[in-house]
Amino acid sequence: MGSRVFYMSFVKGIVSGITSVGGGIFRGTKTGANFGKYVGGELAGSRMRYLIDDEAFKISGMSASQVDDTIRIVSDNPKILDDLTEGTIEREQAIAQLSKKFSDAGIRSTNTANRNLAERVVRSAADYSNRSKIYLRLGQLGGGGFVLATAGVLIYGIASTISAILGGAFDKLLDASAESDTGTFIMMGVVIGGSILAINFVRETIS
């Protein structure tokens, strides 16, 4: 019984830690389970609602006025995230462009801090784009397409969180996975399979 309680607490700690380090990338009630509310309508508006709910404009130590200024700069320069969504530029290019905008406006006191903020915004915007593709495509499938679409965006959130923890190691694979049913299903299978292996490893280690 004692080891079982410890196991459950350990797993909860891992989940809590991943969510915290990922900076709110995977938020079930806001941007995952209710993702449908962000789909449809004008792209920039829907994306902005997602970014705000995902707390993409705030990192540790930012004041409310700095957050407002960040939102204004991103709103005034939609082409950067539009180009990212369309694949015209890569994530790194979008980060560089936004980071310069933030530095020029003096949002944060250092270039590093402004780059960290830009990385947060770009990751969230890329997640929105990829999740939208997954949600819309899987939602069209018959036999519980909505359930499958919701599962897809939730599992993508876990994958993106893991990639964020590892410094963006799997970002390009995540972008590719959103482009086709096959890619999405492979991504879902890898995440689910990896989660099962991790849980079994922890269980065997502490048993």
| Distance from C-alpha of 105 to C-alpha of 189, rounded to nearest angstrom | 43
pLDDT of residue 144: 65
Q: Are 192 and 155 in contact (CB under 8 A)?
A: yes
- In tens digits, the chain (207 residues) has pLDDT values of 444 444 445 444 444 544 444 444 445 435 666 788 888 767 778 899 999 998 999 888 899 999 999 999 999 999 999 999 999 999 999 999 999 999 999 999 999 999 999 999 999 999 999 999 999 988 887 666 788 888 888 889 888 888 888 888 899 999 999 999 898 988 988 888 876 766 665 666 665
The tally of domains found in the chain comes to 1
| Positive/negative CA dihedral, 70, 71, 77, 78 | positive
pLDDT of residue 151: 87
pLDDT of residue 127: 94
Side chain identity, residue 177: S
Q: Which domain holds residue 46?
A: 2-206
| Distance from C-alpha of 63 to C-alpha of 46, rounded to nearest angstrom | 25
| Distance from C-alpha of 24 to C-alpha of 30, rounded to nearest angstrom | 10
Helices first, then strands: H and E counts in the chain: 9, 0
